[in-house]
Protein backbone atom coordinates (compact mmCIF):
# COMPACT_ATOMS: atom_id res chain seq x y z
CA UNK A 1 0.00 0.00 0.00
CA UNK A 2 2.94 2.33 0.66
CA UNK A 3 3.96 2.03 -2.99
CA UNK A 4 0.48 3.06 -4.09
CA UNK A 5 0.64 6.01 -1.70
CA UNK A 6 3.99 7.01 -3.20
CA UNK A 7 2.54 6.91 -6.71
CA UNK A 8 -0.63 8.66 -5.57
CA UNK A 9 1.28 11.47 -3.83
CA UNK A 10 3.43 12.08 -6.90
CA UNK A 11 0.35 11.97 -9.13
CA UNK A 12 -1.44 14.46 -6.85
CA UNK A 13 1.46 16.91 -7.09
CA UNK A 14 1.78 16.58 -10.86
CA UNK A 15 -2.00 16.49 -11.16
CA UNK A 16 -2.54 19.53 -8.96
CA UNK A 17 -0.06 21.54 -10.99
CA UNK A 18 -1.52 20.30 -14.27
CA UNK A 19 -5.13 20.81 -13.21
CA UNK A 20 -4.47 24.19 -11.62
CA UNK A 21 -2.35 25.15 -14.60
CA UNK A 22 -4.99 24.10 -17.10
CA UNK A 23 -7.72 25.81 -15.08
CA UNK A 24 -5.66 28.99 -15.18
CA UNK A 25 -4.88 28.40 -18.84
CA UNK A 26 -8.55 27.80 -19.44
CA UNK A 27 -9.10 31.45 -18.61
CA UNK A 28 -7.73 31.93 -22.11
CA UNK A 29 -10.54 29.95 -23.73
CA UNK A 30 -13.28 32.45 -22.72
CA UNK A 31 -10.84 35.20 -23.70
CA UNK A 32 -10.11 33.74 -27.14
CA UNK A 33 -13.74 32.87 -27.83
CA UNK A 34 -14.82 36.41 -26.95
CA UNK A 35 -12.00 38.26 -28.74
CA UNK A 36 -11.66 36.06 -31.85
CA UNK A 37 -14.41 34.83 -34.16
CA UNK A 38 -14.31 31.06 -34.86
CA UNK A 39 -12.48 31.56 -38.17
CA UNK A 40 -9.64 33.42 -36.39
CA UNK A 41 -9.51 30.81 -33.64
CA UNK A 42 -9.30 28.23 -36.42
CA UNK A 43 -5.84 29.62 -37.32
CA UNK A 44 -4.62 29.03 -33.75
CA UNK A 45 -6.14 25.54 -33.77
CA UNK A 46 -4.53 24.56 -37.07
CA UNK A 47 -1.03 25.88 -36.35
CA UNK A 48 -0.90 24.22 -32.94
CA UNK A 49 -1.80 20.93 -34.60
CA UNK A 50 1.42 21.18 -36.61
CA UNK A 51 3.30 22.14 -33.45
CA UNK A 52 2.03 18.97 -31.76
CA UNK A 53 3.38 16.81 -34.60
CA UNK A 54 6.71 18.64 -34.68
CA UNK A 55 7.12 18.29 -30.91
CA UNK A 56 7.34 14.53 -31.45
CA UNK A 57 9.97 14.96 -34.17
CA UNK A 58 12.02 17.34 -32.02
CA UNK A 59 12.21 15.00 -29.00
CA UNK A 60 12.09 11.65 -30.95
CA UNK A 61 11.33 9.54 -27.87
CA UNK A 62 14.39 10.58 -25.86
CA UNK A 63 12.41 11.58 -22.77
CA UNK A 64 11.21 8.02 -22.09
CA UNK A 65 14.52 6.62 -23.37
CA UNK A 66 16.38 8.68 -20.79
CA UNK A 67 14.18 7.18 -18.04
CA UNK A 68 14.89 3.67 -19.27
CA UNK A 69 18.67 4.03 -19.45
CA UNK A 70 19.17 6.32 -16.45
CA UNK A 71 17.25 3.85 -14.26
CA UNK A 72 19.86 1.21 -15.12
CA UNK A 73 22.71 3.41 -13.87
CA UNK A 74 23.62 4.52 -10.34
CA UNK A 75 24.11 8.10 -11.44
CA UNK A 76 22.41 8.49 -14.80
CA UNK A 77 24.73 11.45 -15.52
CA UNK A 78 26.27 10.07 -18.70
CA UNK A 79 22.90 9.29 -20.19
CA UNK A 80 21.74 12.80 -19.43
CA UNK A 81 24.75 14.28 -21.25
CA UNK A 82 24.13 12.02 -24.27
CA UNK A 83 20.40 12.80 -24.48
CA UNK A 84 20.88 16.54 -24.00
CA UNK A 85 23.70 16.76 -26.56
CA UNK A 86 21.56 14.97 -29.12
CA UNK A 87 18.50 17.16 -28.55
CA UNK A 88 20.50 20.40 -28.65
CA UNK A 89 21.99 19.57 -32.04
CA UNK A 90 18.79 18.38 -33.69
CA UNK A 91 16.56 21.13 -32.24
CA UNK A 92 18.74 23.90 -33.62
CA UNK A 93 18.93 22.13 -36.98
CA UNK A 94 15.17 21.56 -37.28
CA UNK A 95 14.27 25.13 -36.26
CA UNK A 96 16.73 26.66 -38.72
CA UNK A 97 15.13 24.63 -41.52
CA UNK A 98 11.63 25.78 -40.51
CA UNK A 99 12.68 29.43 -40.29
CA UNK A 100 14.31 29.34 -43.72
CA UNK A 101 11.14 27.73 -45.13
CA UNK A 102 8.68 30.09 -43.39
CA UNK A 103 7.53 31.85 -46.58
CA UNK A 104 6.82 28.56 -48.35
CA UNK A 105 4.96 27.25 -45.28
CA UNK A 106 2.60 30.22 -44.90
CA UNK A 107 1.87 30.22 -48.63
CA UNK A 108 0.97 26.52 -48.50
CA UNK A 109 -1.41 27.15 -45.57
CA UNK A 110 -2.97 30.27 -47.16
CA UNK A 111 -1.66 32.51 -44.39
CA UNK A 112 0.34 34.88 -46.61
CA UNK A 113 2.34 37.55 -44.81
CA UNK A 114 2.35 35.70 -41.48
CA UNK A 115 5.89 34.32 -41.63
CA UNK A 116 6.61 35.62 -38.14
CA UNK A 117 4.06 33.17 -36.70
CA UNK A 118 6.07 30.28 -38.15
CA UNK A 119 9.38 31.72 -36.93
CA UNK A 120 8.04 32.16 -33.39
CA UNK A 121 6.65 28.64 -33.36
CA UNK A 122 10.01 27.27 -34.55
CA UNK A 123 11.71 28.90 -31.55
CA UNK A 124 9.00 27.58 -29.21
CA UNK A 125 9.56 24.06 -30.56
CA UNK A 126 13.33 24.29 -30.01
CA UNK A 127 12.92 25.47 -26.41
CA UNK A 128 10.37 22.75 -25.63
CA UNK A 129 12.74 20.08 -26.96
CA UNK A 130 15.91 21.21 -25.20
CA UNK A 131 14.20 21.45 -21.79
CA UNK A 132 12.46 18.05 -22.15
CA UNK A 133 15.30 15.96 -20.68
CA UNK A 134 16.07 18.46 -17.85
CA UNK A 135 12.39 18.22 -16.89
CA UNK A 136 12.61 14.42 -17.13
CA UNK A 137 15.57 14.44 -14.76
CA UNK A 138 13.53 16.43 -12.23
CA UNK A 139 10.87 13.71 -12.39
CA UNK A 140 13.45 10.94 -12.09
CA UNK A 141 14.90 12.59 -8.99
CA UNK A 142 11.43 13.01 -7.48
CA UNK A 143 11.56 16.83 -7.56
CA UNK A 144 7.85 17.09 -8.23
CA UNK A 145 7.39 20.47 -6.50
CA UNK A 146 10.15 22.16 -8.49
CA UNK A 147 8.79 20.60 -11.69
CA UNK A 148 5.27 21.78 -10.87
CA UNK A 149 6.36 25.30 -9.92
CA UNK A 150 8.15 25.79 -13.24
CA UNK A 151 5.15 24.56 -15.22
CA UNK A 152 2.77 26.81 -13.29
CA UNK A 153 5.05 29.82 -13.67
CA UNK A 154 5.09 29.30 -17.43
CA UNK A 155 1.29 29.23 -17.54
CA UNK A 156 0.92 32.33 -15.36
CA UNK A 157 3.29 34.31 -17.56
CA UNK A 158 1.50 33.12 -20.69
CA UNK A 159 -1.89 34.13 -19.29
CA UNK A 160 -0.56 37.49 -18.13
CA UNK A 161 0.88 38.31 -21.55
CA UNK A 162 -2.30 37.24 -23.34
CA UNK A 163 -4.40 39.44 -21.06
CA UNK A 164 -1.98 42.31 -21.54
CA UNK A 165 -2.00 42.17 -25.34
CA UNK A 166 -5.59 41.14 -25.98
CA UNK A 167 -7.41 43.01 -23.18
CA UNK A 168 -5.34 45.75 -21.58
CA UNK A 169 -3.67 47.20 -24.68
CA UNK A 170 -6.87 47.69 -26.76
CA UNK A 171 -8.69 49.09 -23.70
CA UNK A 172 -5.88 51.49 -22.82
CA UNK A 173 -5.40 52.76 -26.36
CA UNK A 174 -9.06 53.71 -26.65
CA UNK A 175 -8.58 56.49 -24.12
CA UNK A 176 -4.81 57.02 -24.47
CA UNK A 177 -4.01 56.64 -28.19
CA UNK A 178 -0.60 58.36 -27.90
CA UNK A 179 0.68 56.44 -24.87
CA UNK A 180 3.69 54.12 -24.76
CA UNK A 181 1.38 51.15 -25.46
CA UNK A 182 1.07 52.23 -29.09
CA UNK A 183 4.79 51.50 -29.51
CA UNK A 184 4.50 47.87 -28.40
CA UNK A 185 1.00 46.93 -29.54
CA UNK A 186 -0.27 46.49 -33.10
CA UNK A 187 -4.04 45.85 -33.41
CA UNK A 188 -3.44 44.12 -36.75
CA UNK A 189 -1.37 41.40 -35.06
CA UNK A 190 -4.53 39.70 -33.77
CA UNK A 191 -3.95 35.99 -33.07
CA UNK A 192 -0.21 36.58 -33.42
CA UNK A 193 -0.16 37.64 -29.78
CA UNK A 194 -1.20 34.10 -28.81
CA UNK A 195 2.06 32.77 -30.30
CA UNK A 196 4.21 35.64 -29.04
CA UNK A 197 2.96 35.17 -25.47
CA UNK A 198 3.74 31.46 -25.68
CA UNK A 199 7.25 32.21 -26.93
CA UNK A 200 8.12 34.61 -24.12
CA UNK A 201 6.70 32.29 -21.45
CA UNK A 202 8.67 29.30 -22.78
CA UNK A 203 11.87 31.32 -23.06
CA UNK A 204 11.72 31.93 -19.30
CA UNK A 205 12.27 28.17 -18.76
CA UNK A 206 15.87 28.79 -19.79
CA UNK A 207 16.60 30.85 -16.67
CA UNK A 208 16.18 28.11 -14.00
CA UNK A 209 17.08 25.27 -16.38
CA UNK A 210 19.80 27.04 -18.35
CA UNK A 211 22.69 25.27 -16.67
CA UNK A 212 21.29 21.79 -17.35
CA UNK A 213 20.13 22.82 -20.80
CA UNK A 214 23.26 24.32 -22.32
CA UNK A 215 26.24 23.49 -20.10
CA UNK A 216 26.62 19.87 -21.10
CA UNK A 217 29.65 17.80 -21.98
CA UNK A 218 29.13 16.95 -25.66
CA UNK A 219 28.84 13.20 -25.89
CA UNK A 220 27.27 10.71 -28.30
CA UNK A 221 29.12 7.50 -29.24
CA UNK A 222 27.92 3.90 -28.97
CA UNK A 223 25.57 4.54 -26.05
CA UNK A 224 23.77 7.14 -28.15
CA UNK A 225 23.22 4.56 -30.88
CA UNK A 226 21.71 2.15 -28.33
CA UNK A 227 19.44 4.90 -27.01
CA UNK A 228 18.40 5.85 -30.54
CA UNK A 229 17.51 2.24 -31.31
CA UNK A 230 15.24 2.18 -28.25
CA UNK A 231 13.82 5.63 -29.01
CA UNK A 232 12.84 5.53 -32.67
CA UNK A 233 9.81 3.25 -32.15
CA UNK A 234 8.70 5.61 -29.38
CA UNK A 235 8.86 8.46 -31.89
CA UNK A 236 6.62 6.50 -34.25
CA UNK A 237 4.34 5.84 -31.29
CA UNK A 238 4.30 9.54 -30.51
CA UNK A 239 3.46 10.49 -34.09
CA UNK A 240 0.61 8.00 -34.08
CA UNK A 241 -0.66 9.35 -30.76
CA UNK A 242 -0.67 12.91 -32.06
CA UNK A 243 -2.32 11.69 -35.26
CA UNK A 244 -5.12 10.19 -33.20
CA UNK A 245 -5.51 13.34 -31.13
CA UNK A 246 -4.77 16.15 -33.58
CA UNK A 247 -5.10 15.11 -37.22
CA UNK A 248 -8.86 15.41 -37.22
CA UNK A 249 -8.45 19.16 -36.67
CA UNK A 250 -6.53 19.45 -39.93
CA UNK A 251 -8.62 16.99 -41.95
CA UNK A 252 -11.87 18.62 -40.84
CA UNK A 253 -10.99 21.81 -42.69
CA UNK A 254 -10.27 19.98 -45.96
CA UNK A 255 -12.66 16.98 -45.88
CA UNK A 256 -15.83 18.68 -44.68
CA UNK A 257 -18.11 19.30 -47.70
CA UNK A 258 -18.89 22.95 -48.36
CA UNK A 259 -22.11 24.06 -46.63
CA UNK A 260 -22.30 20.81 -44.63
CA UNK A 261 -23.19 23.16 -41.79
CA UNK A 262 -25.31 25.68 -43.63
CA UNK A 263 -24.12 29.23 -43.29
CA UNK A 264 -20.75 28.34 -41.73
CA UNK A 265 -17.34 28.13 -43.39
CA UNK A 266 -15.07 25.14 -42.81
CA UNK A 267 -12.61 27.35 -40.90
CA UNK A 268 -15.48 28.46 -38.66
CA UNK A 269 -16.36 24.81 -37.95
CA UNK A 270 -12.69 24.06 -37.27
CA UNK A 271 -12.71 26.83 -34.66
CA UNK A 272 -15.87 25.36 -33.07
CA UNK A 273 -14.35 21.88 -33.04
CA UNK A 274 -11.08 23.15 -31.56
CA UNK A 275 -12.84 25.06 -28.78
CA UNK A 276 -15.15 22.16 -27.85
CA UNK A 277 -12.19 19.78 -27.98
CA UNK A 278 -10.74 21.84 -25.13
CA UNK A 279 -13.55 20.61 -22.87
CA UNK A 280 -12.15 17.09 -23.10
CA UNK A 281 -8.88 18.35 -21.63
CA UNK A 282 -9.90 17.30 -18.13
CA UNK A 283 -9.44 13.66 -19.09
CA UNK A 284 -6.19 14.51 -20.84
CA UNK A 285 -5.04 16.18 -17.62
CA UNK A 286 -5.68 13.04 -15.62
CA UNK A 287 -3.71 10.97 -18.12
CA UNK A 288 -0.88 13.50 -18.22
CA UNK A 289 -0.58 13.75 -14.43
CA UNK A 290 -0.65 9.98 -14.14
CA UNK A 291 1.98 9.62 -16.86
CA UNK A 292 4.35 12.08 -15.18
CA UNK A 293 4.27 10.04 -11.98
CA UNK A 294 3.85 6.51 -13.39
CA UNK A 295 6.65 6.47 -15.98
CA UNK A 296 9.58 6.76 -13.54
CA UNK A 297 7.57 4.70 -11.01
CA UNK A 298 7.13 1.57 -13.11
CA UNK A 299 10.75 1.57 -14.28
CA UNK A 300 11.93 1.73 -10.66
CA UNK A 301 9.48 -0.96 -9.46
CA UNK A 302 9.83 -3.36 -12.40
CA UNK A 303 12.27 -5.67 -10.56
CA UNK A 304 9.98 -6.14 -7.53
CA UNK A 305 8.36 -9.59 -7.31
CA UNK A 306 4.94 -8.04 -6.63
CA UNK A 307 5.14 -5.57 -9.51
CA UNK A 308 2.56 -7.36 -11.76
CA UNK A 309 -0.05 -7.17 -8.99
CA UNK A 310 0.91 -3.57 -8.30
CA UNK A 311 0.54 -2.62 -11.98
CA UNK A 312 -2.85 -4.35 -12.06
CA UNK A 313 -4.16 -2.38 -9.09
CA UNK A 314 -2.83 0.88 -10.54
CA UNK A 315 -4.66 0.19 -13.82
CA UNK A 316 -7.90 -0.57 -11.97
CA UNK A 317 -7.68 2.59 -9.88
CA UNK A 318 -7.06 4.62 -13.04
CA UNK A 319 -10.13 3.15 -14.75
CA UNK A 320 -12.35 3.97 -11.74
CA UNK A 321 -11.10 7.55 -11.59
CA UNK A 322 -11.33 7.93 -15.38
CA UNK A 323 -14.90 6.67 -15.61
CA UNK A 324 -15.92 8.96 -12.74
CA UNK A 325 -14.40 11.99 -14.53
CA UNK A 326 -16.06 10.94 -17.81
CA UNK A 327 -19.46 10.74 -16.12
CA UNK A 328 -19.19 13.99 -14.14
CA UNK A 329 -18.18 16.13 -17.12
CA UNK A 330 -20.56 14.50 -19.61
CA UNK A 331 -23.59 14.50 -17.31
CA UNK A 332 -23.17 18.14 -16.29
CA UNK A 333 -21.82 19.42 -19.62
CA UNK A 334 -24.67 21.92 -20.25
CA UNK A 335 -23.66 23.69 -17.02
CA UNK A 336 -19.89 23.45 -17.53
CA UNK A 337 -19.60 24.38 -21.21
CA UNK A 338 -20.98 27.98 -21.19
CA UNK A 339 -18.49 28.90 -18.46
CA UNK A 340 -15.60 28.30 -20.86
CA UNK A 341 -17.19 28.97 -24.25
CA UNK A 342 -18.37 32.55 -23.97
CA UNK A 343 -19.61 32.92 -27.53
CA UNK A 344 -22.79 30.82 -28.11
CA UNK A 345 -21.58 30.02 -31.64
CA UNK A 346 -19.14 27.54 -30.13
CA UNK A 347 -21.81 25.51 -28.29
CA UNK A 348 -22.99 23.81 -31.48
CA UNK A 349 -20.15 21.28 -31.12
CA UNK A 350 -20.84 20.03 -27.57
CA UNK A 351 -21.95 16.56 -28.66
CA UNK A 352 -18.34 15.63 -29.45
CA UNK A 353 -17.23 16.07 -25.83
CA UNK A 354 -18.46 12.77 -24.26
CA UNK A 355 -16.91 10.84 -27.14
CA UNK A 356 -13.59 12.65 -26.81
CA UNK A 357 -13.59 12.12 -23.04
CA UNK A 358 -14.08 8.39 -23.61
CA UNK A 359 -11.24 8.49 -26.13
CA UNK A 360 -9.05 10.11 -23.47
CA UNK A 361 -9.96 7.36 -21.01
CA UNK A 362 -8.96 4.71 -23.57
CA UNK A 363 -5.69 6.56 -24.16
CA UNK A 364 -4.93 6.40 -20.44
CA UNK A 365 -5.67 2.69 -20.41
CA UNK A 366 -3.38 2.22 -23.39
CA UNK A 367 -0.63 4.09 -21.58
CA UNK A 368 -1.02 1.71 -18.63
CA UNK A 369 -0.83 -1.27 -20.97
CA UNK A 370 2.28 0.08 -22.71
CA UNK A 371 4.54 -0.90 -19.81
CA UNK A 372 4.94 -4.43 -21.23
CA UNK A 373 6.86 -3.38 -24.34
CA UNK A 374 8.83 -0.69 -22.50
CA UNK A 375 9.99 -3.07 -19.76
CA UNK A 376 10.83 -5.86 -22.21
CA UNK A 377 12.68 -3.44 -24.54
CA UNK A 378 10.32 -4.34 -27.38
CA UNK A 379 9.28 -0.82 -28.27
CA UNK A 380 8.94 -1.92 -31.89
CA UNK A 381 5.57 -3.44 -30.90
CA UNK A 382 4.47 -0.06 -29.59
CA UNK A 383 5.41 1.49 -32.92
CA UNK A 384 3.40 -1.07 -34.91
CA UNK A 385 0.36 -0.71 -32.65
CA UNK A 386 0.56 3.05 -32.98
CA UNK A 387 0.88 2.87 -36.76
CA UNK A 388 -2.24 0.71 -36.78
CA UNK A 389 -4.07 3.28 -34.64
CA UNK A 390 -2.98 6.18 -36.82
CA UNK A 391 -4.08 4.33 -39.94
CA UNK A 392 -7.52 3.74 -38.45
CA UNK A 393 -7.71 7.44 -37.50
CA UNK A 394 -6.88 8.59 -41.03
CA UNK A 395 -9.23 6.16 -42.79
CA UNK A 396 -12.06 6.71 -40.32
CA UNK A 397 -11.80 10.50 -40.64
CA UNK A 398 -11.75 10.33 -44.43
CA UNK A 399 -14.84 8.10 -44.42
CA UNK A 400 -16.79 9.67 -41.54
CA UNK A 401 -16.22 13.44 -41.81
CA UNK A 402 -18.15 13.81 -45.11
CA UNK A 403 -21.04 11.83 -43.55
CA UNK A 404 -21.13 12.91 -39.88
CA UNK A 405 -19.22 16.22 -39.89
CA UNK A 406 -17.20 16.90 -36.75
CA UNK A 407 -18.94 13.99 -35.02
CA UNK A 408 -17.12 11.75 -37.50
CA UNK A 409 -13.81 12.96 -36.10
CA UNK A 410 -14.94 12.13 -32.57
CA UNK A 411 -16.05 8.65 -33.61
CA UNK A 412 -12.72 8.09 -35.35
CA UNK A 413 -10.81 8.96 -32.17
CA UNK A 414 -12.70 6.39 -30.11
CA UNK A 415 -12.42 3.69 -32.79
CA UNK A 416 -8.65 4.14 -33.06
CA UNK A 417 -7.92 4.07 -29.31
CA UNK A 418 -10.26 1.12 -28.81
CA UNK A 419 -8.35 -0.93 -31.38
CA UNK A 420 -5.00 0.04 -29.84
CA UNK A 421 -6.15 -0.97 -26.35
CA UNK A 422 -7.43 -4.35 -27.57
CA UNK A 423 -4.27 -5.26 -29.50
CA UNK A 424 -1.90 -4.04 -26.78
CA UNK A 425 -3.80 -5.98 -24.11
CA UNK A 426 -3.68 -9.25 -26.09
CA UNK A 427 0.02 -8.93 -26.94
CA UNK A 428 0.96 -7.71 -23.47
CA UNK A 429 -0.63 -10.66 -21.71
CA UNK A 430 1.46 -12.93 -23.91
CA UNK A 431 4.83 -11.20 -23.47
CA UNK A 432 4.55 -9.76 -19.91
CA UNK A 433 1.58 -11.14 -18.02
CA UNK A 434 -0.20 -8.83 -15.59
CA UNK A 435 -3.33 -10.04 -13.72
CA UNK A 436 -5.57 -7.13 -14.72
CA UNK A 437 -9.08 -6.95 -13.24
CA UNK A 438 -10.49 -6.90 -16.77
CA UNK A 439 -14.11 -7.89 -16.09
CA UNK A 440 -14.67 -5.27 -13.38
CA UNK A 441 -12.89 -2.60 -15.41
CA UNK A 442 -15.15 -3.30 -18.41
CA UNK A 443 -18.21 -3.26 -16.15
CA UNK A 444 -17.37 0.22 -14.86
CA UNK A 445 -16.80 1.56 -18.39
CA UNK A 446 -20.07 0.05 -19.64
CA UNK A 447 -21.92 1.50 -16.66
CA UNK A 448 -20.48 4.95 -17.42
CA UNK A 449 -21.31 4.73 -21.12
CA UNK A 450 -24.89 3.54 -20.54
CA UNK A 451 -25.47 6.27 -17.93
CA UNK A 452 -24.30 9.04 -20.26
CA UNK A 453 -26.26 7.65 -23.20
CA UNK A 454 -29.43 7.40 -21.14
CA UNK A 455 -29.21 11.02 -20.08
CA UNK A 456 -28.70 12.16 -23.68
CA UNK A 457 -31.46 9.97 -25.16
CA UNK A 458 -34.30 10.70 -22.75
CA UNK A 459 -35.85 14.17 -22.77
CA UNK A 460 -35.83 15.06 -19.08
CA UNK A 461 -37.04 18.22 -17.44
CA UNK A 462 -33.92 20.26 -16.59
CA UNK A 463 -34.32 19.77 -12.84
CA UNK A 464 -35.04 16.04 -13.11
CA UNK A 465 -32.14 15.68 -15.50
CA UNK A 466 -29.56 16.75 -12.93
CA UNK A 467 -31.25 14.81 -10.13
CA UNK A 468 -31.02 11.71 -12.31
CA UNK A 469 -27.37 12.51 -13.13
CA UNK A 470 -26.55 12.85 -9.43
CA UNK A 471 -28.23 9.50 -8.69
CA UNK A 472 -26.16 7.82 -11.41
CA UNK A 473 -22.93 9.17 -9.92
CA UNK A 474 -23.92 8.06 -6.40
CA UNK A 475 -24.77 4.61 -7.76
CA UNK A 476 -21.36 4.37 -9.40
CA UNK A 477 -19.57 5.26 -6.16
CA UNK A 478 -21.63 2.71 -4.22
CA UNK A 479 -20.67 0.04 -6.76
CA UNK A 480 -16.99 0.91 -6.37
CA UNK A 481 -17.29 0.65 -2.59
CA UNK A 482 -19.10 -2.70 -2.75
CA UNK A 483 -17.01 -4.35 -5.49
CA UNK A 484 -13.56 -3.02 -4.66
CA UNK A 485 -12.98 -0.92 -1.57
CA UNK A 486 -14.85 -3.20 0.84
CA UNK A 487 -13.14 -6.27 -0.66
CA UNK A 488 -9.65 -4.84 -0.24
CA UNK A 489 -8.77 -4.63 -3.94
CA UNK A 490 -6.27 -1.83 -3.34
CA UNK A 491 -4.29 -3.64 -0.64
CA UNK A 492 -0.97 -4.87 -2.06
CA UNK A 493 0.40 -7.97 -0.34
* Distance separating alpha carbons of residues 424 and 398, to the nearest angstrom: 25
* Distance separating alpha carbons of residues 236 and 387, to the nearest angstrom: 7
pLDDT per position as a tens digit, 240-297: 777 777 777 778 878 888 888 887 888 788 878 877 887 777 777 667 666 666 666 6
Q: State the DSSP string of 256-271.
A: SPTTSSTT--HHHHHH
> What are the two backbone dihedrals, phi and then psi, of residue 268, each rounded to the nearest 5 degrees?
-60, -45
On average, the pLDDT of the chain sits at 82
CA 150 to chain centre: 18
pLDDT per position as a tens digit, 362-414: 988 998 888 888 777 787 888 788 889 888 989 999 999 999 988 998 899 89
Task: In the chain, count H helices and then E strands.
Answer: 24, 0
Radius of gyration of the chain (CA): 23
* Distance separating alpha carbons of residues 408 and 146, to the nearest angstrom: 41
Reported residue count of the chain is 493
pLDDT per position as a tens digit, 81-135: 888 899 999 999 999 999 999 999 988 888 888 899 999 999 999 999 999 888 8
Taking Cα atoms as reference points, which of 305, 291, 124 lies closest to residue 197? 124
Find the largest Cα–Cα distance for the chain.
72
**What does the pLDDT read at residue 76?**
46
* Distance separating alpha carbons of residues 132 and 62, to the nearest angstrom: 9
* Distance separating alpha carbons of residues 397 and 393, to the nearest angstrom: 6
CA 83 to chain centre: 23
Burial 226-241 (b: 16+ CB within 10 A, else e): ebbebbbbbbbbbbbb
**What does the pLDDT read at residue 10?**
53
Amino acid sequence: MSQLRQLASQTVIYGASSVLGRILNYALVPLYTSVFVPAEYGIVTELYVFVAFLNILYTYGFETTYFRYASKSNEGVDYFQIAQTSLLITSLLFSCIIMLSSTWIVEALNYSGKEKYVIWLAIILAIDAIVAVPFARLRLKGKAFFFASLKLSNILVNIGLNCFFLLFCPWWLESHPDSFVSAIYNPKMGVGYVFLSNLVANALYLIPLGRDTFFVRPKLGEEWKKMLKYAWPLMILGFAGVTNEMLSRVLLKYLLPNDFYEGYSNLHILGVFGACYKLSVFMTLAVQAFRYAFEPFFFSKSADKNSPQLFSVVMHAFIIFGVLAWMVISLFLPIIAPIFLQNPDYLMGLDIVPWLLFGGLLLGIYFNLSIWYKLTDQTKYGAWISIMGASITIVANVVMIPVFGFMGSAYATVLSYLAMVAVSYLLGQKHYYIPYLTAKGLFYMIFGGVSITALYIYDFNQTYKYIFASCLLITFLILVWLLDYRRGTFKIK
